[in-house]
Structure 1
Amino acid sequence: MGFMSRSARAAVCGLVLATVTGGSVFAADYTLNINTALTTSDPLYKGLEDLKKNVEARSEGKLAIRLFPGSQLGKDEDVLEQARAGAGNAVVVDGGRLAVFVNDFGVLSGPYLASGYEGIRKVVTSPLMDEWAKKLHDGAQLQILSFNWWQGERHLLTNKPIKVPADLSGIRMRTPGAPVWTETVKAMGATPAPMAWADVYSALQTQVIDAVEAQDPASYGSRLYEVTKYLTKTGHFNLITGLVTSAAWFDALPPDLQIILKEESLKSGDVASHGTEAALADIEAKMTAAGMTIDEIDTTPFKEATAGVYEKLGYSDLKKQVDAILAQ
């Protein structure tokens, strides 16, 4: 397992956390800290609360889960590194960020890959995903618990109307820093400006950036309707994310707790994803009521503009495999 800090050793050994389950107090043998950039109002966070409740009950308090919204444990990339070092930390993360460890994951964040949750769920519960997960475990010391945490399709938030890719010329748009994200934003016509999600509101307010692309629950949770005027429904990314933790920490769990954690992660991912589906119309209604203009457009020009991203990043063959799974 290599060198490990005192905090990481404590996480692996699962030191002391009291958990209330069914009215009784148990001393947890293991503790998993889950970090997310999302707020507590996000439907996905409700899925994490569901996971916490069910894992603690089913394990009879042996495995405790602590939730850290608003990136309290650090940026996603930092938490991944903590996990790689053996800490009992997990993070809700997209395939683009995992592509630095196993390149294949990047295809999950490609433009217009799938429509809606049910389509992309076929891919992330397939044998192809199992192959990638093993590579990630063995090569990067990271363990996927489940990858079916759907956060919605991502749209453009700007201060001017957008109809076609040419309208994005000269616009500095925040996006995560992974290549598949930045190349897509470039192909759409904007200038990518990678930065942490927590910095987006102030960056828009001070005009450090001109625009952002994001899914509705995150946009609403971060009150981006206060600093942008238009939401253009491009749906360019179908944001599927996974719950990823330390391989060393996970491997040190008793087999029964490993099973509980993976099974409940998959179940709660479905809860979170269906909750997101159910919330989208209401979220857009609230943003409209707050003064934002929401535009439905013909996305064909954006699909055509971004079609070359897969080939540019070397994902052409992998895209064919994914398309075959989606066609099943």
Structure 2
Amino acid sequence: MKHLALIATTAASALFAGSVLAADYTISVTLDTSPQHVRNVWLKDFAKAIEEKSEGKLELEIFEAAAKYKDSEAAAAVAQGAIDMAIPQYQLISRFVPEADFEQLPMFYGLGRDQIYAVVDGAVGDELHAKIEEKLRVKVLGRPIDLGFGTVFSTDVELKTPADLAGLKVRVPGGPATVQRYENIDAVPVQISWPDVPQALQTGTISSLWSTQESVASAKLWDAGVKYAMEDRQAIVQYVPLINQRALDKLPEDLRALLIDTWDEMVDAQRDFAAQRQQDARDLNAQNGIVTSDPDAEALAAMRQRLMQVQPALVEELGIDPAFIDRIAAVTGD
């Protein structure tokens, strides 16, 4: 019996030692969205793939629901080395790199997914990522992943056309181009971090918000009074992966390559997954009483034309390089 106990103890010790060795390298990641959110769900799949491909040598430690940082703070936290990795929205990096607000400009109003990918996955995206890397001293791990096209939600006003937003206090995630867009629509933009949105709705600080079907469903914002929505495809929301350069450099060369290559291999499927999640979320929101409308093409075209008239002044005000805008226009055909 003592012999068997010794064998069992030795085996347990070996398993423990193996688990310790398996955690040779850990990358800490901050997210401010809930565990059910599309970004969180997919990142856990990515983490699982990394762990399996590295045979347990590299792990991602994911901190969710702003347990570490809000997305508005995440890029700075990565740059400072307070956290290894974050995946914030592009526009939340625009205070460091003005060009990062590009997807919120009027020229992106109404574009389809393929048109947007042609910009972000090509030379323009590479140029932007190089600017971000130089300014923040971080590494952009790869192509952005999707949340999806933004949707406008309301607690009291039924939204059918962009003109219905006039006068409403609309929550925006941040980014000066987004703020300007709503001011040009005659709404009142209010910058509020995502974890603070439910309380802001319940207290009347805002009566509307620009988000996505997925985000609203994952946070069950019907409980906070959201009743109406409008799919006017103002802009797409994408997340860009940032990793602290020192944290990346600490990894062996093969693990660095594994991290970058696996990200790239999984991006296209993530984007399709996010699009399906948006549709599923719209269905779920409908089941919980949120009525979504789709403006007609004429209303959208009229609003795009109105917004495009102010784009040159907006680009100048935001400090975006006009040549960068010209390179985008060459891809989109504007």
Q: TM-score interval w.r.t. the shorter chain? A: 0.7 to 0.9
Matched, 1:321 2:321: no
One-letter identity of the residue aligned with 2:268:
D
Q: Structure 1: state its 5+ residue gaps.
A: 1-19
Alignment partner, residue 251 of structure 1: 249
Matched, 1:222 2:219: yes
Q: Distance in 2 between matches of 1:77 and 1:320?
A: 28
- Compare 260-269 and 106-115 and name the one that shifted more: 106-115
Q: 2:44 aligns with which of 42, 49, 54?
A: 49
Q: 1:145 aligns with which of 141, 145, 149?
A: 141
Q: Distance in 1 between matches of 2:304 and 2:55?
A: 49
Q: Distance in 1 between matches of 2:149 and 2:324?
A: 21
Q: Does the 8 A contact of 1:112 with 1:236 survive in 2?
A: no
Equivalences for residues 15-54 of structure 1 within 5 A: 26-54=21-49
- Normalised by the size of structure 2, how large is the TM-score? 0.84
1:173–1:163 CA distance, 2 compared to 1 (3 A)? same
Equivalences for residues 1-328 of structure 1 within 5 A: 26-111=21-106, 113=108, 115-158=111-154, 159-226=156-223, 227-298=225-296, 299-311=300-312, 312-314=314-316, 315=320, 317-326=323-332
1:98 positional shift: 1.5
Alignment partner, residue 8 of structure 2: none
Deviations 1:28-86 (A, max 9, x none): 23211222222222233222012101111222222210122212211123222221112
- Normalised by the size of structure 1, how large is the TM-score? 0.85
1:309–1:175 CA distance, 2 compared to 1 (3 A)? farther
Q: How many matched pairs?
A: 306
1:38–1:294 CA distance, 2 compared to 1 (3 A)? same
Q: Distance in 1 between matches of 2:161 and 2:38?
A: 31
One-letter identity of the residue aligned with 1:63:
L
Q: Structure 2: state its 5+ residue gaps.
A: 1-14
- Compare 300-309 and 187-196 and name the one that shifted more: 300-309
1:195 positional shift: 0.9
- Compare 63-72 and 114-123 and name the one that shifted more: 114-123
One-letter identity of the residue aligned with 1:313:
V
Q: Comparing both structures, which one devotes a greater share of its residues to helix?
A: 2
1:317–1:134 CA distance, 2 compared to 1 (3 A)? closer
Q: Comparing both structures, which one devotes a greater share of its residues to strand?
A: 1
Specify the SS of the correspondent of 1:245. strand
1:239 positional shift: 1.1
1:196 positional shift: 0.7
Q: Does the 8 A contact of 1:151 with 1:239 survive in 2?
A: yes
Deviations 1:147-205 (A, max 9, x none): 32111110110121233444222211110221111111212221110011111111111
Specify the SS of the correspondent of 1:170. coil
- Compare 254-263 and 265-274 and name the one that shifted more: 265-274
Specify the SS of the correspondent of 1:143. strand
Specify the SS of the correspondent of 2:60. strand
Q: RMSD of aligned C-alpha atoms? A: 2.3
Q: Distance in 1 between matches of 2:240 and 2:310?
A: 23
Q: Does the 8 A contact of 2:212 with 2:278 survive in 1?
A: no
1:89–1:291 CA distance, 2 compared to 1 (3 A)? same
1:202–1:51 CA distance, 2 compared to 1 (3 A)? same
Q: Distance in 2 between matches of 1:45 and 1:254?
A: 26
Deviations 1:94-139 (A, max 9, x none): 2211222222221133346163433322222212222222222222
Q: Distance in 2 between matches of 1:60 and 1:132?
A: 34
